[in-house]
Amino acid sequence: MAHPFLPLLLEPAELEKHLGAENLLVVDMNPADVYNKAHIPGAVHLDYAQIVAARPPAMGALPSEARLSDVFSAIGMTPNSHVVAYDNEGNGRAARLLWTLDAVGHPHFSLLNGGLPAWLEENRPVSGEPTKKPRSEYRAKLSGAAVADKDYVLSHLQDQTVALLDTRSPGEYSGAVKRAARGGHIPGAVNFDWVNAMDPNRNLRLRDAEALRAELARLGVTPDKEVITYCQTHHRSAHTYIVLKALGFTNIKGYPGSWSEWGNRDDTPVE
């Protein structure tokens, strides 16, 4: 669900028209030094580390409801806020925030297509003044619909109606590049490197929707299936999760444990 006027994938020109609108909360997920230099006017800063929890071996776990409630209250978020998130590195951090909002059932959010680079490239207004919103009392409640844990993935390995989408590099997927005790991928997973969704000639905006749908379909990833995305810490795969949502997929989950959990255990099967 989006605001009557804001789609999930939001173009900079469209956002600029709505800056300052009631209930609009623009969230900058860049490092603090980038934010302090230039950000979208009115955007609040949120540090990526605030929205992930390290529970070794899982390094990209979901924080607790209490922690998320505190983090969202600190940026002044309310149940009516329409959150627009962006960063400067392909929107992976921004997408992880939006996936987290999906995980707590927050219905109103958008990804700024192309992020800060697209905004700057088009000479849109920027500010160097930090924005502080009055603290709110946000109550985050994890609903589970957007989240797959290790046991959920294990129990669906043989399920033909579920597609596992590994969004790491081909080297990580094959096991040539090892970032955990074991290399390889979850059995049955197909590989779609998250950067393949981005158009390098358009400030890393998402590529043409039809082309993306066709590419995913060739991998067996179609909207009639439940799709579970994962990477190393559910940073890259959170981006792919939002891409799928933007393409009209409705049954998607992210696996926050991802390979940092799966590849570092000795009781999970590896291909």
Indicate which residues carry an active-site annotation: 231
What is the DSSP annotation of 205-241? EEPPHHHHHHHHHHTT--TTSEEEEE-SSSSHHHHHH
Cα separations in angstroms, 154 against 53, 99, 184, 228, 270? 22, 21, 16, 12, 11
105 torsion bin: left (phi>0), alpha (psi -120 to 50), beta (else):
left
Phi (first) and psi of residue 18, to 5 degrees: -105, 0
Residue whose entry in the numeric block shows the structure tokens 């995913």: 216
Q: Tabulate helix, strand, coil % of the chain (nearest 5).
A: 35, 15, 50
Written as six digits, the tokens of 30 are: 């860049």
Please return the burial class of 218, using the count of CB atoms within 10 Å of its CB with bins 0-12, 13-18 and 19+: exposed
Strands (DSSP E) found in 4-57:
9-10, 24-28, 44-45, 53-55
Q: Which two tokens stand for residue 169?
A: 């590099």
Contact (CB, 8 A) for 222 and 216: yes
